[in-house]
Structure 1
Amino acid sequence: MATSEGVGRLVLRYLESTRNLVGCAGGAVGLGLHFAGLGGAWWPGVVAGLYGVGALLTPAPVRPSAPESPPEPSPEPASPPQAAEPEPASPPRVPEPVSPPRAPEPEPVVPRPELEALADYLGTVPLPASAGVDALLAALRGAGPGPVADRIVGYRLPVAVDGYLRARTWLPWAGPDAPDPAAQLGREVRRLAAELG
């Protein structure tokens, strides 16, 4: 009686196992092939073969092993309390000398080829010293690159010098009431210097 109950339990466990379920799926594929007309007269063997392949290739379930209990630590003999040793006296700290704050170093001047090319060209043009073009060029070198300085170098100052040269060329035909080109150039240079700040 006990043996038949044990066998029945094993059969039931196998019927519920993953191997049996995968084998049944393979057998169902074999039946599908038979109904599709591909198995021919050998269809029972195809169904049994697919069942067997599915059942045999399915890995067996891994049974969890019982966790090992950690070994109990052996009691260590209690050591007698030791007297605390006095810490050695540390020497008095000498304050470190305070260095004076260093002055910030001036930023290096970035070379600007367009400004130097403009200065070289203006050195060949007969400009009046009263216009202050040399002082504006020095201020542009000190200001460094920026939108205002770039606009003055790339457009505003060349246009002002061009206007001076044109007015000076046409001065003999302009009449006695024509404005002085040098004074006009000086006003424009002072305006540009004010914009540069």
Structure 2
Amino acid sequence: MATSNGFGPRALRYLESARNLVGCAGGAVGLGLHFAGLGGVWWPGVVAGLYGVGALLTPAPKPRPPLPPRPEPRPEPQPLPPEVSAPPAPKPEPVPAPEPAPAPDPELVALAAYLDTVPLPPSAGVDGLLAALRAAGPGPVAERIVRHRLPVAVAGYLRARTWQPWAGPDDPDPAVQLGREVDRLAGELA
């Protein structure tokens, strides 16, 4: 049977095939048996036999599925002659695209995620301040509150709460102090 491939490409395909690789593994097992002293004088036959068994028992590669047929190119529509052409269609007026919502401030998102993990008293109104900051959008006042003022107020609350067991009876309640600071920040934002 004549093929367009020469001997070289076919030999290379066989050398890279799964059958040859499994046969080589079987031959290597045969060599291992020889070096272990189990093949005796028949070791070349054992090596060749294990190669042949491995190569023959390996399933043949599955044929590639045929390529799907290429779609036929469609003929381009021919323009109508001027005397038969249809009237031009009215151009639709462009509809203005709605303004995209402003992207949330990543620092505000990170601060809100952190504050969700902190045990803050609901009476302090931190959730209301976060909602007001989201509604206000970016700006110098909101940026100052998000980056510095609110984190400092929360850190002060957490420190005061940590030391509260050793505080005296005259020391103010940390939750009340945090609520006052949050009210002051909300007033600056408005």
* Coarse TM-score class (shorter-chain normalised): 0.3 to 0.5
TM-score (norm 1): 0.46
TM-score of the pair, normalised by structure 2: 0.48
